[in-house]
Structure formats: C-alpha cells, structure tokens
Amino acid sequence: MINHDFKSGQTKKTAATKNKLSTTHWMLLGGGILLAAVIMLLPTKEAEAIRAVNNDILPLQNLQLSIPPQIEPIAAEPSEQKAPPTFQARSVTVKRGDTLAAIFNREGFSPRELYDIMQLGALTAALKDIRPGESLEFRADDTKQLVGLSYKTDITHTLIIERDSTGFSAREEIRSPELRVAHASAIISNSLYRSGQQAGLTDNLIMELAGIFGWDIDFALDIRQGDHFTVLYEEQYLDGEKIGYGDIVAAQFTNRGKTFEAVRFTNEKGVSQYFTPEGRSMRKAFLRSPVDFRRISSRFTRERHHPVLGKKRPHRGVDYAAATGTPIKAAGDGKIIFRGTKGGYGTTVVIQHGTQYTTLYAHLSNFKRGQRNGSYVKQGDIIGFVGSSGLATGPHLHYEFRVNGTHRNPLTVKFPDAQPIKAAYKKEFSAQTQPILAQLNVLSRGIALAKNSL
C-alpha cells in the first residue's frame, strides 16, 4: 500500500518533476542549503510552509546549476503501447455494482475466457477486487477473441494477461519509484512525536528515527526541551507525483547537549544498516528503553520516598509509567533466568545477557505466552506486559540493569562497543556516505544556530 499522507496535496505544484533528475545532484546546491538555513530561523509554522516549497524547488535549481539545458532534452513521455492494427484496444471503466463477469459479458467476451483467466492463479485474484472508477484495458483480435488484458492493481503494479498459442498467461509489471532526498529539522518543544510531525515527518519516519538512535537515547525518558534533530530521508516519486516515503538516509540528533549522528550504508548484498560517520554500527547490545517511547507517561529514577513502604530507600532502577498491558521488550539478546513472583517486585522477568549483564523487569501484569525459564530471547522481543503487581501503587515497569551483579543506572551506563564496519567495506562506506554526511552537517549547523538564537 502506498503511504498517502497529509502532504500529498503539495505534490501537484511541482513544476520540475517531469525531468528525470538524480537525487544526489541537489545535494551540491548552495542555494537550497542557504534557504534551509534561513528557514530554520523562522517560527515553526512558516518554516514548515517554506520547507515544503523548498523541497519542491530544489530540483529546479538543480536543473539550472548542474545540467546545461541544451544537452539534457526534456524526456519524451513514454509512448503508449500501440496494438497492431488488426487488434482492437478498449479501456473499460468499472461501474458501481459491476462484476468481472458482467464486464466480460458487456464487452462481448466469453465466460470461458474469464474462467481460463481466473484459473491462472494468485496474480489474477486481484481481478476479484476491482472497484468502481478503476479501468481494465482489453485487447481483442478480428474475431473478437480476447488476446490481452491489463489492470493497474495499484500505483506501481500492473497485472498483464496475454494470450498466445498455448493459452493465457499472467505476469505483474512493477515500476520502481524514483527516490529523492528531502530533509526536515526541528527543535523539540514538547515531544519528539509532536515536533517530528510539525517538521513534516510521517509517523513511520519518526519511529524509524527513534529506532536508529534507540541504542543511544532513551526516547521514553531522556528527551528534553531544546533537543534538536535533522533528518535526510527519501521521498518516492512516480511520473513526477509524490507517492510515498522511503527510508532515512542520514540523521543527526542532539540530546541534552550530546550529538549523535547516523548514516545509512548499503552493502553489495543490498543490506542497509545505520552507522556512525566513523563506521561503527548504531546497533548495540542493549536498547536504552524497554518500552515504546510513545506509551510512557512519566518516570522516576533517583532515591525517593517509597510510596508503599512509606520510607526512603534507594531506587535501583528506572520506573516507566505506562498503561497496564503495554508491551515490554527485552533490552538485549539473552536467556530468561527468572520468570515468576519475587516479593515486592511482583511478577518479574530477569534476563541474562552473556556472562556480565542481567536486566530485570518487575510489576508485570502478565508474561508473554510461549516463553519459560531458560528461553532465549532476541533484543526487542516482547517478554511481558506492564502492570502493578507486587509493591506498586500504579501500573509501571520497574527496570534494572546490572553489570557483574552491581546495579547501574540504565540511562547512563556505557554499553559494550558495537561492531565496526568490515574492513572490506571501508572504502565503499566513505564513498557512499561522505556526500550525505556533508549535507547533513550543513543542515544541522542551521538548526543548531536557530536553537542558540532562541
């Protein structure tokens, strides 16, 4: 499915989109960058409006600056596939209440032909879902025998049915959208989620952003007013129309004064991962937060008055307040070494990670079914659900992180270092990521300037 979003209304005003332009070209442009920097100094609403326009005009500038018009003729529209003169082509629009059988009948094709087509298997099943307003392209020969049928199942997929001497066959034609790189920056004023949306990011892109930095930043607890980010991400275009979004290409996130940077690298097997500019994987052995940041309502970390025992005692973990039933994720790969009731902790899971590390999850309402003591879990696997069992006044997750048996603050403990990029990829890594990182840095400087001038 195509990701239609609230920005789709902007796509129509794109003037330059008929030209096939490489997405990398616009990164060379000073004009766009300058404009971007100016935008960051504007209040959010105006900035958003200009940002949208900015995205639209970048390809135009690109055309003027990087390609002399005389050697880049405007690409001709792909010519319509013309049927040989003896064939008749017809486009039929599906009407309200239409069935395929009714259309075949109306167009003079036989039930046998329809039957044979529907026998072709999974691909032709799409024909059962035709909707009013969609169109079917028929081709018939002199004897009115059906020789071809095509049906656009969505914006990028077309089902093509053809008849030859052996009968009908079906195939699917897939058009891959052109990718262009767009950017967004924001200074966080309330939540990552709200600020991301205001900057024009889709929910998916916001989650992707949180996922990329989820090993370094606890998005549930650690986000502060004034944190800021810049994201370069892909937009998908087909025939000049924006049809959806791709992935994040690079991003920078400043959390409480500390800046993290990530860039995507795709190896020759087509596998993409995010790395630091130095080529260290963003992935680490532990997630900062075992709960989805969008579900958290509050947190406590330091020593506090124990709400149930009524006296002060050190608090050796982090509490994430969230609704009962909120899924809890394993912070890292490991083996469940405790799964049961543990005094004031209530319903509890403890996971052993390698020889040095354990994580503890307490006050659960329920365990994840299908796991038991001794089960191996992967990072991010759900292990149970938030509750208020044991000594708890309300539903929350109590999370502890221990290194060699000693409690550490899960928010600040240094995680073991991640795998660097393989030596064989080093050169390719630099070639692929340097231009993107240069672009990211220019844009990030703009948002940092804007932040400091607040």
Residues in contact with Zn ion by CB under 5 A are 319, 398
Q: Indicate the residue among 228 and 398 with the shorter CB distance to Zn ion.
A: 398
The contacts of residue 104 (CB under 8 Å, 6+ apart) are: 110, 111, 113, 114
- The whole-angstrom separation of Cα 215 and Cα 417 is 11
Distance from first CA to last CA of the chain, Å, rounded?
41
Task: Indicate the helix (H) or strand (E) that contains 62.
Answer: helix 44-66
Q: Indicate the residue among 284 and 396 with the shorter CB distance to Zn ion.
A: 396
Do β-strands 298-300 and 304-305 pair in parallel, antiparallel, or remain unpaired? Answer: unpaired
Angle at 395 between CA 389 and CA 400, to 5 degrees: 75
Q: How far is the CB of 324 from Zn ion (least distance, A)?
A: 16
Q: Indicate the residue among 198 and 388 with the shorter CB distance to Zn ion.
A: 388
Q: Indicate the residue among 353 and 398 with the shorter CB distance to Zn ion.
A: 398
Q: Indicate the residue among 368 and 398 with the shorter CB distance to Zn ion.
A: 398
The contacts of residue 30 (CB under 8 Å, 6+ apart) are: none
The b/e string for 93-109 (b: 16+ C-beta within 10 A; e otherwise) is ebeeebebeebbeeeeb
Closest CA to 314 of 323, 302, 322: 302
Query: What is residue 293's three-state secondary structure?
Result: helix
Q: How far is the CB of 401 from Zn ion (least distance, A)?
A: 12
Q: How far is the CB of 362 from Zn ion (least distance, A)?
A: 7
Q: Indicate the residue among 264 and 396 with the shorter CB distance to Zn ion.
A: 396
Q: Indicate the residue among 133 and 314 with the shorter CB distance to Zn ion.
A: 314
Q: How far is the CB of 357 from Zn ion (least distance, A)?
A: 19
Q: How many CB atoms within 10 Å of residue 387?
A: 23
The contacts of residue 192 (CB under 8 Å, 6+ apart) are: 206, 209, 210, 219, 223, 227, 293
* Residue whose C-beta lies closest to Zn ion: 398
Q: How far is the CB of 417 from Zn ion (least distance, A)?
A: 29
Q: How far is the CB of 396 from Zn ion (least distance, A)?
A: 7
Q: How far is the CB of 397 from Zn ion (least distance, A)?
A: 8
